[in-house]
Amino acid sequence: MMELWMLLLLLHLHLGNSPRIKDGEEVGSLNVSCVSLPAPLSVSISSFNMQHILSFLPGPGTPSDTHFTVEVVHLRKNSWRQVSGCLELLAEQTCNLTMVFKDPYDHYQARIKAFTSNQTSNWTLSGVFQPLSDTVLEPPDVTLSGCGNCLIVQLAVPARKLLQNLQLKELYKRVIFHVQRTRDGAQFTLNLPYNDKNEITYLQPGVEYCVTVSARGLFNSNYIPSKPYCAFTSPPSSKSSNALYVVFILLGVFCMLGFLFIGLVVYGSQLSSELITEHLPRSLLNTFIQGRQHRRAQLEFSGHFSASQLHGSANCLLMAHSPVQALKSSSEQGAGDCALALT
């Protein structure tokens, strides 16, 4: 009896509530069992020349049979919708959002989740994306030429048609010139409104500079520089070689002056030593002879030694150490006394 009652009860329960329980179980199993896959990582939208690509990495431990699905939202409209080309991506695939983000001025966001037949992951959101400000523009084509103490930079829009009826030229708003002097790497940066022809002034003539150019959109802070383009401000051959000649000539003149000076010094020292060894004794001899003659004349003239003469000879003995005063005294007093005193 008891078993029968239980059976009836179970039957009743099953029959009465089965649809709802079944629903509940399905919903419950979906919720509980499904959100067990790891969510995708590193979800980002990269954009070059207004082509937008979403990339991601599977979360760690994601099964190999996992697929990924992408949804996007207009932030203005705030309703998520699926992206037709990106419903069942594989782990290494990317999602091309170029045709999805139609309005270059609008703000968008994307999200992606992993799923298998009986499991899903949470959604992972990308950052907010605005096509016009987040895209990276290709740098313009550059032609560089010198103009004396300046450079002329001609810019040309790459011959490429963008999507959504946009032209690259319409997107170029500002141009950044990075100028570097080849010789020593001295550099500066110019940020100018976009123009086909640009002049970079106040440069050194006859010197090589290298210029890299990058273009930016209106609200755009992302850019990639062009390769460096190099040119001389003016033909280097004449001026720099002239300068080189001048340097060589100056060097030559300095060398000659140096040799001349050294020669003079050497010759001068030889001359002075000769003077000391040869000329000085002879001149001393001369003064001695002259002195004797002078004294004899004095003796003949005065006939006696004066007190002043004795004083003079004493002076000369002292003055032998200081020749200037000795000369003075010898001119005043008898030169012969000096000569005697020296010898």
Total chain residues near ligand NAG (CB under 6 A) = 18
> Rule CB under 6 A: is residue 98 a binding residue for ligand NAG?
yes
> Rule CB under 6 A: is residue 204 a binding residue for ligand NAG?
no
Name residue 215's beta-bridge partners: 175
> Rule CB under 6 A: is residue 125 a binding residue for ligand NAG?
no
DSSP state, 153? E
Helices (H), the chain: 2-34, 131-134, 168-171, 236-274, 280-302, 307-319, 323-332, 335-342
Exactly one of 18, 31, 143, 241 binds ligand NAG (CB under 6 A); that residue is 31
Q: Report the residue number whose CB is nearest to ligand NAG.
A: 31
What string marks each residue from 283 to 322 as x (binds ligand NAG by CB under 6 A) or -? ----------------------------------------
CB nearer to ligand NAG: pick between 122 and 182: 122
> Rule CB under 6 A: is residue 190 a binding residue for ligand NAG?
no
> Rule CB under 6 A: is residue 118 a binding residue for ligand NAG?
yes
Helix axes 280-302, 335-342, angle to 10 degrees: 130
C-alpha 24/C-alpha 32 separation (Å) is: 12
Exactly one of 33, 204, 272, 293 binds ligand NAG (CB under 6 A); that residue is 33
C-alpha 158/C-alpha 141 separation (Å) is: 6
CB atoms within 10 A of CB 57: 14
CB nearer to ligand NAG: pick between 59 and 205: 59
C-alpha 37/C-alpha 67 separation (Å) is: 11
> Rule CB under 6 A: is residue 119 a binding residue for ligand NAG?
yes
> Rule CB under 6 A: is residue 96 a binding residue for ligand NAG?
yes
Q: Which two tokens stand for residue 126?
A: 């990308």
Q: Which two tokens stand for residue 30?
A: 């979906």
Closest listed residue to residue 55, CA positions, set 88, 108, 101, 97: 97
Least Å distance, CB 185 to ligand NAG, is 37
Exactly one of 64, 79, 117, 165 binds ligand NAG (CB under 6 A); that residue is 117
Least Å distance, CB 36 to ligand NAG, is 6
CA dihedral of 6, 8, 10, 11, whole degrees rounded to 10: 160
CB nearer to ligand NAG: pick between 182 and 222: 222
Binding site for ligand NAG (CB under 6 A): 27, 31, 33, 35-36, 38-39, 51, 53, 96, 98-99, 117-119, 121-122, 163
